[in-house]
Chains A and B, each alone.
Chain A
Amino acid sequence: MADQLATGSRRGLRPALPLLLPAYLWLTVAIFLPLSAMVFFSFMTDLPLAGKEWAFTLGNYAAFFSQSLYSTLLFASLRLGLEVTLWCVVIGYPAAYVLAKVLKGRSREAIFLLVILPFWSNGLVRIFSWAMVLREGGILDTALNAVLPFKINIDLMYSYPAVIIGLVHSYVPYMVLTCYLTLQAIDDSLIEAGRSLGASRRQVLRRVIIPLSMPGLIAGSALIFVPVVGSFMEPRILGGRTGTFYGTVIEDQFVAVFNWPLGAALSFILLAVVLIILALAAPVLRRAG
């Protein structure tokens, strides 16, 4: 395997160019151009629409630092991202383990389908379904009161937990998929070797399986953390008044206030912060794995 990689790189990039070209063209058109436009907007005083006056300014970026509201919200969003990612690990990793190492054949296919089902439903539908479940007199409330002998009021709607539940539900499949892929690549004989050497199941898990599945955990966490920090749909619908986060503020700038330059500037600050966090976390996580 190492040999194959070595000969691959010796042949150089040139033969691969025709294969890469379509992807790069698409990336240029679909991401680079709009993104450059956004960078441009973020330094403008106003949108150049309908002949309005505009000039270059750093004011949009300065706004982030002059008003503590933005950094408070960014901090709240980072915490939300961290919590959702942790819950996804706690729920997704065991599920991936069972899928990859315990289930075989038919039952594995069936459970796998259930796990990726949320991918196939529209995001809004998913969130409004949760709204129906979580609100007072909703499905959860009714069901619990039907079972329990005493009366309780469950109204999770418009609360922080509701936002967490909605986000975890949306993003946990990413964690299951990335962990499933790395776990499946771990040979069962490694587990058996560990056990034959006197290690209990738990010791094998801690010293062999988790270290070897680090790449999946890291990839899954990055895939979840980044979009959750910028999320706005779930916080707005399930969080109500408590659902004001950095992402919802950015969304407001684009769809409600029409202050695109400020929205763009806030987005790039978020991007920078997330990149810094990932860069700081990478070496630590790599050492752990």
Chain B
Amino acid sequence: MAGVQVANVSRSFGAMKALDDVSIDFADGGFYALLGPSGSGKTTLLRQIAGFDFPDAGRIAIGGESVERVPVEKRRIGMVFQNYALFPNMSVADNVAFGLSVRGEAKATIAAEVQRALDLVQLGKLGGRRPHQLSGGQRQRVALARAIVTKPRVLLLDEPLGALDKALRVDMQIELKRIQREIGITTIFVTHDQEEALTMSDRIGILRDGRLVQEGPPEEIYDRPQSEFAATFLGDANIFRGDATGSGIRLQDGTTINAASGASVPAGAKASCAVRPERIQISTGSAKPDRVDANTLEGKVSKRIFAGNSSTYFVDREGQTLKVIVQNTGAERLAEGEPVMLSWSPDSTVLIAA
């Protein structure tokens, strides 16, 4: 087992900077999610760590040992591909045995290790099948068993659950997390899916256009995004733009919004505030907020979407549409067109430098 250090790594394809000075420390035994929109460089970063591709600049170390000149097959990594990449000419057991057998292990050792790996992914009885006789979820498990049976130092997964349907995906998320805990392997997980990143990982790195936008534990990124992009990419956020006041911002119409956390921006500079839809209280016009320093705004409900356990209100004010999510507590529901008062605490507001 080993951690991975990526330091100032850049990689260009022609004029296109796929990775631009990215530095991340992947902790030993941790579960790290790389999140970002399509084309942001997630796969490219994973391929540098795996050794399928080499950086133009920067350092990559696995377990403290520099690997820039080490070819893939010597890096002792395990990789799970989005399309599974199982060898169609081999049985499930032979697929899993491949890594051990190219290493020249004894037949009996291989058989025992393969069986243990297949049991771990709960496919102990399917060793004799061919990959095309398996379901998507089963193939994914075989790919996982094949990747971990060689006891790699790092497990790299490139959108491994992308091809599965929602229910199976949730099952596999739990399974993957269980296996990762059981063997305690450093895991780097690429995903498009923010919910997957939030629920599974110890740390998240958000990439955009080849740059690392923000990284940290899921709670920290969600509660204290450092950019509008991070705020809106991971979860939903209402963004207000204005001039910094020292304790928040002043909007164009003079309304002030106080923020208790976030960047420190000199008064007068351009800044924005982000607030999560579920942190906003919505009430009919006259109600008073329970805190004196609470941020308040008036608006009009333009749309309500009922989703069972919650309702989403879209509230129009001053040409901006705000989103508010209210848990279904049985309280009276607001009608479209109704004037409302929005209020939320400065503690729920993050100041972001422009």
Contacts and interface: CB of A to CB of B under 8 A. Distances in A.
Interface of A: 2, 187, 189-190, 192-200, 203, 207-208, 211-212, 289
B98 interface: yes
Nearest to B152: A196
A270 B146 CA distance: 49
A189 B89 CA distance: 15
A212 to B, nearest CB: 6
B85 A203 contact: no
B306 interface: no
A192 B89 contact: no
B73 A198 contact: yes
B103 A198 contact: yes
A144 to B, nearest CB: 40
Contacts of B102: 194, 197-200, 203, 207
Interface stretch (B76-84, B118-126, B268-276, B287-295): B76-84
Interface of B: 50, 52, 71-74, 76-79, 81, 83, 85-89, 98-99, 102-103, 132, 146-147, 150, 156
A192 B52 contact: yes
B98 A2 contact: no
Contacts, number: 67
Nearest to A208: B87
Given A190-B85, A193-B146, 4 more contacts: A193-B87, A195-B52, A199-B99, A208-B89
Nearest to B101: A207
Given A2-B132, A193-B79, A199 B98 contact: yes
A211 B95 CA distance: 14
A200 B87 contact: no
A189 B150 contact: no
B158 to A, nearest CB: 9
Contacts of B88: 212
Given A2-B132, A192-B72, A212-B88, A198 B99 contact: yes
Contacts of A197: 73, 78, 98-99, 102, 146-147, 150
A69 B219 CA distance: 88
Given A198-B99, A208-B89, A212-B88, A192 B79 contact: yes
5 contacts: A187-B85, A195-B71, A195-B72, A211-B89, A212-B89
A189 B160 CA distance: 13
Nearest to A2: B132
Contacts of A212: 87-89
Contacts of A200: 73, 102
Contacts of A189: 81, 83, 85
B87 A196 contact: no
Closest 9 CB pairs of A and B: A197-B99, A193-B85, A189-B85, A196-B79, A199-B102, A195-B72, A211-B89, A189-B81, A198-B73
Report which residue of A189, A192, A196, A199 has the largest number of chain B beta carbons within 10 angstroms of its beta carbon: A196
Given A212-B88, A289-B89, A194 B83 contact: no
A187 B150 contact: no
A199 B81 CA distance: 17
Given A2-B132, A196-B78, A190 B87 contact: yes
A187 B85 CA distance: 8
A194 to B, nearest CB: 7
A197 B97 CA distance: 10
A192 B81 contact: yes
B73 to A, nearest CB: 5
Nearest to B143: A193
Contacts of A190: 85, 87
Contacts of A192: 50, 52, 72, 79, 81, 85
A17 B114 CA distance: 49
Nearest to A199: B102
Of B72, B86, B99, B146, which is in contact with the most chain A CB atoms at under 10 Å from its CB?
Answer: B72
B98 A207 contact: yes
Contacts of B99: 197-199
A189 B159 CA distance: 14
Contact of B72 (A196, A211, A289): A196
A207 B103 CA distance: 13
B127 to A, nearest CB: 17
A198 B98 CA distance: 9
A209 to B, nearest CB: 10
Nearest to B146: A197
A187 B52 CA distance: 15
A188 B265 CA distance: 49
Contacts of B77: 196
A193 B152 CA distance: 13
B85 A199 contact: no
B228 to A, nearest CB: 36
A196 B98 contact: no
A211 B89 CA distance: 7
B221 to A, nearest CB: 29
B89 A196 contact: no
A212 B79 CA distance: 21
Contact of A194 (B50, B98, B103): B98
B180 to A, nearest CB: 18
A210 B98 CA distance: 15
Contacts of A198: 73-74, 76, 99, 102-103, 150
A197 B86 CA distance: 12
Given A2-B132, A187-B83, A207-B98, A195 B89 contact: no
